[in-house]
Chain A
Amino acid sequence: MTADILTFFVFVLAVFLGFELIFKVPSMLHTPLMSGTNAIHGIILVGGLLALAGAEGVVEQVLGFVAVVLGAANVFGGFMVTDRMLQMFRKKKR
């Protein structure tokens, strides 16, 4: 088995895992869940960091820089905004 096939293997398993994970979610959690998974795809920041670190020439640097800014905004903003939403749920006992 080549590395490519193994990677594909991981991908397919992850597809099914994603379906299973949120099979039954109460509708009031739809928004926080969307927001939380939104933050998780901010992992693209890892890709942005690697691209910018290895960037050669101004064009690559500019594109990489924008990718890092966008990725970081996605990650940090995403987790913070989700936490702010969920904080509201916790204060329910007065």
Chain B
Amino acid sequence: MSTPVALAFLAASILFIIGIKLLSSPKSARAGNLVAAAGMFIALIATLPLMRPTAANAILVMVGILLGLAVGAVGAYRVKMTAMPQMVALFNGAGGGAAALVAAIEFAARPHGRSFIAGMLFAAVIGAVSFSGSIIAFAKLEGHFEKPVTYRGQQFANAGLVLLVAVLGFVLAGPSHSLALFVIFLALALVFGVLMVLPIGGADMPVVISLLNSCTGLAVAADGFAISNLALIVAGTLVGSSGTLLTLAMCKAMNRPVTNVLFGAFGKASTETAAAAATGGAVKSIQADEVALLLGAAQQVVIVPGYGLAVAQAQHEVRMLADELGERGVDVKFAIHPVAGRMPGHMNVLLAEANVPYEQLIEMEAINPQMSRVSVCLVIGANDVVNPAAHEDKASPIYGMPIIEAEKAGMVVVLKRSMGKGFAGIENRLFVRDNCRMLFGDARASLQELVAQVKAG
């Protein structure tokens, strides 16, 4: 590698570092993304002088880049804001797949010394796991086999598979260099990615995607070792370590250790006891016109948005309702649970899309002390994040998770499609409280009616 190229890769690495730094503060986040993109541009340009392709390969390179660009751009701009998490999962899977393939080509073409083989094998196995795992995560977020898939002896089957992959890895690191074995090795890693994610419930997919994201980073870094490219090592490692910390931060927001997310599918027994405990009262429904009266007469209204809001695409309607109420002198705030929706920050993104002023979005810790002074709390398509079982029922699978204390408000109105359970699959004892009313129906339709009623009233 010539000095100018090496310096360009150094510049790219520095821009990645600055980019990640800026990304972690709300004000500079967008600039941070652009800085990182500039780093990527420099890295790609710096790669050009290193390539000495044949004419055919040069054409393949250009077609490949254009095709990837088209797929990426269409995916990024066509996807609805509600489907963002799935898109991130897919892009992550693509990166993992690429990392595994680069390792495969290196293995087939250039048998190196021992340390390089190790990097190659690591990149292949982690990249493959990330690829297939991300696709399952994508499918789960799209609503396919959302529920944890479990069977007897699952842990043993998975552990056996890991052992088998490890043994194959050691054999491959030796002098044998068998291509057939390498293919089996890759295939087993792909299978493991599927089996690892299948038993995890859809609600935990953000954590899984974050984990697989950091895995892809490590696979890329390992590829960097295999092909002696420092830019890959630095960028991949940064993603790997920052991603690990991010994964832990997400688990902390749910008050669950990461091992519990990965290996402990929600227990069936505890769900049943929680359900039995919650049936100590009847659910009371309410009509839209009554809700409108309540809201219009309220001093302070707190809106708790959840995934149901995202599914119903009702972010604009909720903003209209907030505006209408605001004009009538009602103090309206949005209470954002860190893991509301399918991803941390999902609600912030959605509401920002609908032009809800940033100052109206209040984080859980800040809103909870105020909840007892709130006249009406409007829960829209949120469930587990307002379930008091998290405080009261030690047997509940969500026990210990911080929640928005909606039950402390003077009146709680829950907009809900039906009496279905939340993503965690457990009953919500908030719904049977004396101060809770249910407004059944599609969130968007209900909100439109509420806006009309508030305007009329």
Contacts and interface: CB of A to CB of B under 8 A. Distances in A.
Contacts of A48: 64, 98, 101-102
A80 B87 CA distance: 11
Given A67-B98, A78-B72, A46 B245 contact: no
Chain B interface residue bracket vs A: 35 or more
Contact of A52 (B60, B235, B350): B60
B19 A40 contact: yes
B232 A32 contact: no
Contacts of A60: 105, 108-109
Given A72-B67, A92-B357, A66 B40 contact: no
Interface of B is mostly: helix
B264 interface: no
B277 interface: no
A31 B349 contact: yes
B279 interface: no
Contact of A27 (B16, B92, B253): B253
Contact of B50 (A22, A40, A45, A50): A50
Nearest to A30: B344
B229 interface: yes
Given A31-B343, A76-B72, A69 B64 contact: yes
B52 A54 contact: yes
A83 to B, nearest CB: 6
A11 to B, nearest CB: 6
Given A54-B52, A55-B57, A70-B94, A47 B102 contact: yes
Contacts, number: 392
Contacts of A47: 98-99, 102, 220, 223-224, 227, 229, 232
Contact of A18 (B25, B32, B206, B239): B239
B26 A28 contact: yes
B109 A44 contact: no
Contacts of B246: 22, 25, 30, 33-34, 37
B85 A31 contact: yes
B36 interface: yes
Given A29-B26, A40-B20, A34 B95 contact: no
Contacts of A30: 206, 210, 246, 249-250, 253, 338, 343-345
A89 B58 contact: no
A80 B69 CA distance: 10
A50 to B, nearest CB: 6
Interface string B56-88: 111011011111110111011101010011011
A56 to B, nearest CB: 7
B33 A83 contact: yes
B357 A73 contact: no
A81 B75 contact: yes
Contacts of A22: 20, 24, 242, 245-246
Contacts of A87: 30
A49 B64 CA distance: 9
Contacts of B36: 36, 39-40, 79
Nearest to B228: A7
Given A17-B238, A36-B36, A50-B229, 4 more contacts: A18-B243, A48-B98, A54-B52, A75-B44
Interface of A: 3-4, 7, 10-11, 14-19, 21-56, 59-61, 63-94
Across the A-B interface, the 5 shortest Cβ-Cβ residue pairs = A72-B68, A77-B72, A18-B241, A68-B64, A30-B344
22 contacts: A10-B233, A14-B234, A19-B242, A19-B244, A32-B29, A36-B29, A40-B20, A41-B95, A43-B12, A43-B231, A43-B232, A52-B53, A54-B53, A63-B108, A73-B91, A73-B94, A76-B69, A78-B76, A86-B29, A88-B81, A90-B30, A92-B358
